[in-house]
Amino acid sequence: MPLEFYKYQGTGNDFVLIDNRLNTFFKKDTKLVAAMCDRKFGIGADGLILIENHPDLDFTMVYYNSDGNLSSMCGNGGRCITHFAKFLGMIDGEAKFEAVDGMHHASLTDDKISLGMNDVDSVSVFETHVFLNTGSPHHVQLVSGIDKFDVFSEGRRLRNAVYGSAGANINFVEQVSENTFKVRTYERGVEDETLSCGTGVTAVAIAMFEIGKTKSNAVVLETPGGTLEVSFQKKGNSYQKVTLTGPAVQVFKGVWP
């Protein structure tokens, strides 16, 4: 049966969005998800997202990586699905929804989406990097000359050598000013550099605050795909009221196959 889909992107992090409120999508077909996300033979995307009914909230978000497997939270995907819900008439200016890591609240102003992320209660600081989970596991590492840095090779090495089969997302960071950082991310599941990673820039903002590279609780993150903002409040060892803000754009719609 033909599947109607919508292509979205949030700072270059792109997704296939499908309205699955009638449960027409065969969710265990990982080969179908991978085929739709394939950039040479399919639509092309970093991931596929289903919007589904929820008994109490506005909707449920189901996220697949481009390899076809169900994955952890995707921040840019959360912003895109909020825009999609508004397009479908499911919400107006605000949304409450459930993702794999729990409940989220989002607000919309035109194409700019602010997404509430989960609290972060544990930040592990090592000599060469910082590790934390912002809905997905993230390795954050400062580098110099980030524009020419070999993100693919070094990201792939760290993802496998340090984190094994489960993997982690690898973020390379260079400071631009007191509260601005450049970020490039190698994402597990995509197994390549993506133009932007929402949970990744969230991790970077918190990590840079934790190690004293910034004193600001409102951080600007410049990715290859565009600029995102992360704000938070620190109480004790916990980072709370974490918010990821940036654009979400509907690119086109189509029918598969």
Which residues are designated catalytic? 74, 197
Distances (CA, A) of 121 to 93, 102, 124, 146, 217: 29, 15, 10, 29, 16
18 phi and psi angles, rounded to 5 deg:
-130, 135
Q: Torsion angle of alpha carbons 124, 130, 133, 136, nearest 10°?
A: -150
Using the Cα atoms of residue 62, residue 64, residue 68 and residue 71 in order, give the sign of their dihedral.
negative
Asked if 57 and 90 count as a contact pair (C-beta separation under 8 A), the reply is: no
Q: How far apart are CA 234 and CA 241, in angstroms?
A: 9
Q: Which H/E stretch holds residue 204?
A: helix 198-210
